[in-house]
């Protein structure tokens, strides 16, 4: 079967928005959890897990976890970051990538606004990580023909391609990772090609995170992600 130049259909698999914190009032984690649930439009209407951790734990270790196993939405917060995740990998997705990403971004922005206004949160970095899935007959062969354009790699069981671009656009200095990962068929899924687009502001160039910078960043990240989908999967 010939794959080179073929157009692949894809669907959203997982979306993640992250805000990297430099300050937060953690004196009442339950109040933070309740605020998050109130700003999440009933999508995180489950009991939060509040971890009684000492103040000297690593800044990436989560203190608050709210996870709705039914709909795939999850929130976790450490002293150094919070993440909002929507996992669609096991669901029949009816919405488009632009629709689900706009919803996730709006909720992440609302949560950030609540943290900043009610708990003195400050931040200096932002990230968007979006994965899409394309079902194909032979994912490693697609990677070999479409992206490697070489006979090297024929018969590979799994393949990965990672590309990093560091770009400056619309006032943001970004790391833009595109990762192409083949997934073999199993009892649940046919052979798939996963593409992850990870866009984050550069750590060595911190920014002043406000509602405006959050909103503008997510819009920019979504445009970059859609461009990557068009280039790598459609074009």
Q: Give the pLDDT of residue 156.
A: 78
Q: Give the pLDDT of residue 6.
A: 55
Q: Looking at residues 137-150, what average pLDDT do you find? A: 82
Q: Looking at residues 50-70, what average pLDDT do you find? A: 89
Cβ atoms of residues 56 and 36 within 8 Å: no
The single-letter DSSP state of residue 184 is: -
Residue 152 pLDDT exceeds 50 = yes
Residue 5 pLDDT exceeds 60 = no
Q: Give which of 231, 124, 130 is closest to 172, Cα–Cα.
A: 124
| Residue ranges covered by each domain of the chain | 11-234
What does pLDDT average to over the chain? 90
* Both tokens assigned to 84: 């909002």
β-partners of residue 50 are 64
Q: Name the percent of the chain lying above pLDDT 90.
A: 67
Q: Looking at residues 208-219, what average pLDDT do you find? A: 97
């Amino acid at each position: 079967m010939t794959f080179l130049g073929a157009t692949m259909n894809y669907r959203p698999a997982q979306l993640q928005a992250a805000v990297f914190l430099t300050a937060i009032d953690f004196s009442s984690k339950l109040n933070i959890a309740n605020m998050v649930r109130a700003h999440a439009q009933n999508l995180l209407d489950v009991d939060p897990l509040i971890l009684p951790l000492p103040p000297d734990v690593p800044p990436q270790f989560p203190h608050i976890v709210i996870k709705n196993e039914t709909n795939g939405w999850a929130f976790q917060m450490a002293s150094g970051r919070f993440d909002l995740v929507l996992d669609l990998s096991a669901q029949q997705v009816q919405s488009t990538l632009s629709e689900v990403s706009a919803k996730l971004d709006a909720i992440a922005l609302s949560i950030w606004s609540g943290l900043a206004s009610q708990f003195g949160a400050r931040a200096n970095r932002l990230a968007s990580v979006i994965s899409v899935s394309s079902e194909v007959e032979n994912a490693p062969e697609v990677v070999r023909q479409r992206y490697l354009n070489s006979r090297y790699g024929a018969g590979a069981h799994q393949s990965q391609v990672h590309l990093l671009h560091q770009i400056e656009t619309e006032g943001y200095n970004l790391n833009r990772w595109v990762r192409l990962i083949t997934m073999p068929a199993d009892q649940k899924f046919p052979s798939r090609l996963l593409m992850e687009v990870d866009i984050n502001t550069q750590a060595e160039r911190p920014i002043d995170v406000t509602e405006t910078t959050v909103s503008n960043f997510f819009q920019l990240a979504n445009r970059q992600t859609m461009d990557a989908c068009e280039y790598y999967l459609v074009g």
